[in-house]
Chains A and B, each alone.
Chain A
């Protein structure tokens, strides 16, 4: 779309800026100020501590591991949150036919399942004693796995369960993105007798790029919150902090920021840290 220079565009932005100012940045500013205090908002007046809360967060046992796990989840979940849904969306779109509605509904099912219930269903599937995963894994030559009490399997389990929910979300975004591809472009390409792969590489993927950027952004930003709910039900951050991430750490620190300054400090750090990552990412993909 061509950008104009005339007229007054500000009116279009006012509702959005007002909303984020009042309900996100205003409170965030308050949190940032409070992160310099020792406070609880109830039984005692706030007391200035400078950067004490930040020092405390960095000294928290497990903070380093939670940070690296956060990065780890971002990377590990990408195949399930970007590649698989992209492939599935394109294949369903190219196939067409009567099964399209079926696939669209089934792939979206996990998103519709209440989060607490979805994680619980997986908890049963992963229970080593009920042993539902034993037989399928046995076929692959893998012995029984203690999913939730061994570090690596537990990390994998949290990733897969989170990915299971996210898959459908990304799928519907890619599907929506595909609908905006102009029929004429495809027809013209077909008249050129372009093969399926060339069509995909030179037309479909480039046209899907705006949506792909969105999905990658969503993965980076939301991998933390998405995994949080799963961690809470499946592992509570264990074994020994092996599946924790910064959001779970924040939850443990205080659950709600005003249980203490360190949680406020961590909130500020998460915001600023992700801000830096996203800024770099946007610069790279522009």
Chain B
């Protein structure tokens, strides 16, 4: 071992280019022959959190360990907003976790900066395809990059409309047949506003993850964020139309001009009729609105003349092990988490989407659960029309994405900015950032 004295100045030096150049050299603790006990480090943003997310994740880990007595899971909880940076720091120090749960909104960052191991290298030949069979194709393909599967779809959610059935009843509406188009949403919101409450809030203007809703709206209005050639289409008519709808809601007094957190607070307080957001909120809202009002759900409303085409938010699982035995164990773990049993726990305990359609009616898996609580069903039904989440490419992709959310979506939705010129300006700025 080096002494402390030489380590310190040495460290200062290596912090610079030396570390950068030499890459990972820290040894993995404990080598592993077959049959021996092996430990997998798992970094997750659900693990350890209060409520259903933490409990569900613990249950998944316990079930896996019971099935695989030779593999121990060493979990760490890191908030969703910091987990990619945390993994990055560990990777730079040469010791990334074996498996990490990283949000799709950070997928661009993962592609550029994290030393993930594609599943083609992690899984034994043939096993990968067999595992992906039976998943919704759009979900299975979410994590594909450069022809390889970088991430496995795991904790995935999709847009849904939460409905305050009490406010609906007060306004003379029926929460059992909620609005299915934006025109109907406007009518319902008008009726609710007339009773003195707030109408509807579309959670598209948040900074970090709400861009999946922006994409879902553009898709559902017949467009895409990125064309087949990768060109940005934010200033074309489907996007302009989708965002104009958002802006009109606020201008006409049907949508309160507030931020995401305040809108959720309003909905929980029972003062907002409809909240269009991610299904991930279901577990939390179900708990916090219990005893306040009757909570119902509906699918993402459609634009007239178009089918809904939502995309997803949530996270995938990425493998970083460089040792073959650890890769094998990591693969076992990922396989379990995204197996029929895994998705059963994810859906029934936490409220993430069951990405295997066969589970939904199967009494051995989710059949009984959905018979009892159908609030996840409207969105499960729209999974057939799921579109892959589009990642803005390149080093500045994340910056372009935040530019879109901060300078276009939020001003149009909340501050009355004129959609067409705003989108034209911001699209131009984004193109400059996205240029290779």
Question: Which residues of chain A have a CB within 8 Å of any CB of chain B?
Answer: 22, 26-27, 29-30, 33-34, 37, 39-43, 45-46, 60-62, 123-124, 127-130, 146, 148-150, 235-241, 252-253, 255-256, 258-260
A77 vs B23: C-alpha distance in the bound complex, in angstroms? 44
Task: Assess whether B399 is in contact with A253, with CB atoms less than 8 Å apart.
Answer: yes
In the bound complex, do residue B21 and residue A42 qualify as a contact, i.e. CB atoms below 8 Å apart?
Answer: no
CB neighbours (8 Å) of A258 from chain B are: 88, 92
B329 to chain A, nearest CB (A): 23
Contacts of B407 in A (CB 8 A): 61-62, 240-241
Chain A residues with CB below 8 A from B16, complex form: 29-30, 33-34
21 A–B contacts from the bound complex (CB under 8 Å):
A22-B8, A26-B15, A33-B16, A34-B16, A37-B17, A40-B113, A41-B19, A42-B23, A42-B115, A45-B20, A45-B21, A46-B21, A61-B407, A127-B258, A127-B266, A128-B257, A129-B256, A130-B265, A146-B257, A240-B407, A256-B89
Looking at B259, B265, B271, B429, which has the most chain A CB atoms within 10 Å of its CB?
B259
Most buried by B among A26, A61, A253: A61
* Minimum C-beta distance from A154 to chain B (A): 10
Inter-chain contacts of A22 with B (CB < 8 A): 8, 12
Q: Take A129-B256, A240-B415 as given contacts and tell me if A43 and B115 are in contact as well, using a CB distance cutoff of 8 Å.
A: yes
The answer to the question of B269 belonging to the interface, with a C-beta cut-off of 8 Å to chain A, is: yes
Q: A46-B21, A130-B265 are in contact. Are A238 and B395 (CB under 8 A)?
A: no
Residue of B nearest to A60 (CB): B399
Closest CB in chain A relative to B264 CB, distance in Å: 11
> In the complex the two chains form, what is the Cα distance from A130 to B12 in whole Å?
52
Most buried by A among B85, B208, B399: B399
Residue of A nearest to B114 (CB): A42
Contacts of A259 in B (CB 8 A): 85, 88, 109, 113
Besides A129-B198, A238-B410, 9 other A-B contacts (C-beta < 8 A): A22-B12, A40-B88, A40-B113, A60-B399, A61-B403, A123-B262, A128-B262, A129-B271, A259-B85
Q: A129-B266, A236-B406, A239-B415 are in contact. Are A42 and B88 (CB under 8 A)?
A: yes
Which residues of A lie under 8 Å from residue B15 when comparing CB positions? Answer: 26-27, 30
- 4 shortest interchain CB distances as A-B pairs: A26-B12, A30-B16, A236-B207, A41-B92
Question: How many Å from the CB of B248 to the closest CB on chain A?
Answer: 17
Report which B residues bind A (CB closer than 8 A).
8, 12, 15-17, 19-21, 23, 82, 85, 88-89, 91-92, 109, 112-115, 198, 207-208, 256-259, 261-262, 265-266, 269, 271, 395, 399, 402-403, 406-407, 410-411, 414-415, 417, 429
How far, in whole Å, are A148 and B410 apart by their CA atoms in the complex?
Answer: 12
**Whole-angstrom CA separation of A264 from B322 in the bound complex:** 29
Residues of B within 8 A of A40 (CB): 88, 112-113
Chain A residues lying within 8 Å of B109, measured Cβ to Cβ, are 259
Partner of A149, one of B115, B395, B414: B414
Q: Which of B88, B112, B207, B262 contacts A129 (CB 8 A)?
A: B262
User: In the docked arrangement, what's the CA distance between A236 and B85, Å?
Assistant: 18
Chain B residue at smallest Cβ distance from A56: B396
Q: How far is the CB of A120 from chain B (nearest CB, A)?
A: 8
Cα distance A130–B417 when bound, in Å?
25
Expressed in whole angstroms, the Cα–Cα distance for A255 and B16 within the complex equals 18
Q: Are B91's CB and A42's CB within 8 A? A: yes
Which residues of chain B are near A37, meaning CB under 8 Å? Answer: 17, 20
- Please, how many angstroms separate the alpha-carbon atoms of A39 and B395 in the complex? 11
